[in-house]
Amino acid sequence: MRIIALYNIKGGVGKTAGSVNLAWLAARAGFKTLLWDLDPQGAASFYFRVHAKVAGGGEDLVVGKTDIGEIVKSTSFENLDLLPADFSYRHMDLMLAADSKPAVQLMRLLRPLSSLYDLLILDCPPSISLVSENIFRAADALLVPVIPTTLSVRTYEQLLEFLNNNELMGMTRPLPFFSMVDLRKRLHKRTMERLPQLYPEVLSSHIPNASDIERMGVMRAPVGVYAPNGAGGTAFAELWKEVRETLSLQPHR
């Protein structure tokens, strides 16, 4: 099972939209896919019409009282399952800290799923924390949505600094991509020209600030379901193609 995390220190940059659409595209391509909504706000769970728990199973899961497979929910899409959000995830740092090996606890939890899925996508909460360190150790790649603005670029540089300082760079692969792009803005255009020169790992695909993506909250579905040929649907399809090729992803079933 390959693991991809949609991650950024900063919130509001398009992590959940990326997680939902890439998971749906992977499942449509024949990958047995699991999306884990790690954000206690539960936006990914909402998009797939699965109720997030207000309280409960987060602690039982971390301490081993609940098997992770017991809380997996099916979605209405073939090949796509969901681990819904739990509001108790807001305390996950404290739960992990109580474990004897907190930095690798997430990998232990995921081990029973490795033979069941081709791809696990993590929709991550915005933070640098013990949860983040677990994610960095478990994920094959970090897909980092970056709005082409100064502050958003700075958060990517902070992420790289943290990975380097904590000797985590070799455990995962940062793959930034531009998100919420408005090419009418000069700053966006300049940033998109400059950043790949500094960081060649920046993906060439980008996600526009498009109205069809904003409609996900109304439609409660991936963009490709209701607007596959719109700007957003086309962009996510291109991003998925590039991610698949970059990471050499192949379904095994």
125: domain CATH number is 3.40.50.300
Task: Indicate whether 252 belongs to any domain.
Answer: no
Task: Indicate whether 26 belongs to any domain.
Answer: yes
DSSP 115-161: TT-SEEEEE--SS-SHHHHHHHHH-SEEEEEE-SSHHHHHHHHHHHH
Task: Indicate whether 46 belongs to any domain.
Answer: yes
The pLDDT value recorded for residue 133 is: 85
Count of domains forming the chain:
1
- Residue 7, judged by CB atoms within 10 A of its CB (0-12, 13-18, 19+), counts as buried
The pLDDT value recorded for residue 51 is: 73
The residues near 1 (Cβ < 8 Å, ≥ 6 apart) are 110, 113, 114, 115, 116, 117, 118, 119, 120
Rounded CA gap, 163 and 57, in Å? Answer: 30
The pLDDT value recorded for residue 104 is: 58
Task: Indicate whether 94 belongs to any domain.
Answer: yes
Rounded CA gap, 101 and 41, in Å? Answer: 27
Task: Indicate whether 69 belongs to any domain.
Answer: yes
Task: Indicate whether 110 belongs to any domain.
Answer: yes
Write out pLDDT tens, residues 168-182.
888 899 999 999 999
Q: Residue 155: which of 134, 132, 171, 189 has the closest Cα?
A: 132
State which residues form the domain around 170.
Answer: 2-247
Cα-based angle 50, 51, 54 (whole degrees, multiple of 5): 155
The list of the chain residues with pLDDT below 50 reads 54, 98, 100, 102-103
206-208 and 174-181 as β-strands: parallel, antiparallel, unpaired?
parallel
Residue 6: in which H helix or E strand, if any? Answer: strand 2-6
Task: Indicate whether 253 belongs to any domain.
Answer: no
- What do you get for the CA distance between the two ends of the chain, in Å? 12
Task: Indicate whether 92 belongs to any domain.
Answer: yes
Q: Are 97 and 59 in contact (CB under 8 A)?
A: no
